[in-house]
A = this chain, B = another copy of it.
Amino acid sequence: MLPTVAIQGFEGSFHQIAARHYFGPETLTAPCATFSEVVRQVASGSTGAGLMAIENSIAGSILPNYTLLRKSGLRVMGEVYLRIRQHLMALPGQQLSDIREVHSHPMALLQCADFLNQYHHWQLVESEDTALSAQRVREQGRPGVAAVAGRLAAELFDLEVVAEDIHAEKKNYTRFLVVARPENALEVERPNKASLYFHTNHTQGSLARVLVRIADLGINLSKLQSCPKPGSTWHYYFHADLEFDEPEQLQAALRDITPVTDGLEVLGMYHKGTTH
Contact = CB atoms under 8 A, between A and B. Distances in A.
Interface of A: 56-61, 63-64, 67, 171, 173, 175, 204-205, 207-208, 211-212, 214-216, 218-228, 230-231, 233-234, 236
A79 to B, nearest CB: 12
Contact of A57 (B57, B60, B234): B234
Given A204-B215, A211-B205, A226 B228 contact: no
A220 B206 CA distance: 10
A59 to B, nearest CB: 7
Given A224-B226, A226-B224, A211 B218 contact: no
Given A205-B215, A208-B212, A212-B205, A227 B173 contact: no
Of A173, A204, A224, A231, most B-chain CB atoms within 10 Å:
A204
B63 A61 contact: yes
A236 B208 contact: no
A174 B61 CA distance: 20
Nearest to A211: B208
A228 B63 contact: no
Contacts of A233: 57, 171, 173
A239 B59 CA distance: 15
B228 A225 contact: no
A214 B208 contact: yes
A222 B226 CA distance: 11
B219 A207 contact: no
Contacts of A226: 60-61, 223-225
24 contacts: A57-B228, A57-B234, A59-B64, A60-B63, A60-B67, A60-B227, A61-B226, A171-B231, A171-B233, A173-B233, A175-B234, A204-B218, A204-B219, A205-B212, A205-B214, A205-B215, A205-B216, A207-B211, A207-B221, A208-B214, A208-B215, A212-B212, A224-B224, A224-B226
